[in-house]
Amino acid sequence: MVRILIERDQEGQVKRVSIKGHAGYAEPGRDIVCAAISGISIGMVNAIEKLTGVQVHSDLDHEGKMNCQIPANVNDPKVIDQIHLLLEAMILSLEQVADEAPDFVKIKEKRK
């Protein structure tokens, strides 16, 4: 089971996304659910870094864990808006995967 935690601030802005686990949809190397989640999340980190110039705090391991956090020192409102738009797009894509494979992906949101 892949568990995705989306942490938002009081204004509803995404501050961190944590992804843990393996879907178990198919054997490793053939699991399209894991591949979709990996592609969406890694692609979004790359997009944020390339399109906004902001280095995202992220770590990824082969155990199926990924944490992505936007640095607190980003001050340009335009860049902040771009990052939040990209993150919301990522969340929509992850939700679509979860909707198609509810036995293999769970998404939880919390506000801090």
Look up the CATH number of the domain holding residue 102: 3.30.70.1490
pLDDT score of 77 more than 90: yes
Distance from C-alpha of 57 to C-alpha of 70, rounded to nearest angstrom: 6
Domain count, the chain: 1
- Find the domain containing 15 and state its range: 2-111
Tens digit of pLDDT for each residue in 28-75?
889 999 999 999 999 999 999 999 999 988 887 767 788 888 888 899
pTM: 0.90
Distance from C-alpha of 86 to C-alpha of 5, rounded to nearest angstrom: 17
Tens digit of pLDDT for each residue in 7-35?
999 999 999 999 999 899 999 889 999 99
Burial class (CB in 10 A: 0-12, 13-18, 19+), 61: exposed
